[in-house]
Amino acid sequence: GESVGLHLPTLSVQEGDNSIINCAYSNSASDYFIWYKQESGKGPQFIIDIRSNMDKRQGQRVTVLLNKTVKHLSLQIAATQPGDSAVYFCAEGSRRALTFGSGTRLQVQP
C-alpha cells in the first residue's frame, strides 16, 4: 500500500523560534491531508487539514503547506512554545480513509 513518511524523527527547537515539520507522501490520488498532535498518554489531536485543491492553509500559529509536484507536506508552527512539545503525525488519503506517517517528535528547549 501507499505510505507516508517523515524526514526527521526528532526536531529540537528553542522556545520562541518557528518550527517546520516535514512529511513526504507517495499516493498521488490522495485529496486530503491532515496533521495531528499527540501528547504522551493521549490520543491524536487535530491541528489542521488541507484539501488537494489548495497549497496553503493557516490556522492559529500553524500553517500547512502542500506541494503536490514533489508530494511534500509541511507543518509550520510560529513562536513555538513548551506546550507544543509532542509527537506530530501527518496523514493522507481521504477524510474517510487515512494513512498515517510514523511521527516526528518536537522538543522545545526553554
Looking at 29, 60, 70, 96, which residue binds other proteins (CB under 8 A)? Answer: 96
Indicate whether 14 belongs to the interface with other proteins (CB under 8 A): no
Binding mask 46-85 for other proteins (x = CB under 8 A): x--x------------------------------------
CA 104 to each of CA 31, 44, 54, 76, 91: distance values in angstroms, whole numbers, following the listed order: 22, 13, 24, 13, 12
Instruction: Tell me the backbone φ, ψ of residue 10, rounded to 5 degrees.
Output: -135, 135
Q: Toward other proteins, which CB reaches closer, 89 or 108?
A: 89
Count the neighbouring beta carbons within 10 Å of the beta carbon of residue 106.
21
Indicate whether 91 belongs to the interface with other proteins (CB under 8 A): yes
Nearest distance in Å: CB 90, other proteins: 9
Burial class (CB in 10 A: 0-12, 13-18, 19+), 14: exposed
Q: Toward other proteins, which CB reaches closer, 14 or 75?
A: 75
Indicate whether 102 belongs to the interface with other proteins (CB under 8 A): yes
CA 64 to each of CA 1, 31, 36, 40, 42: distance values in angstroms, whole numbers, following the listed order: 25, 14, 12, 23, 23
Q: Give the interface with other proteins as residue ranges (CB under 8 A).
A: 1, 4, 34, 36, 41-46, 49, 89, 91, 95-103
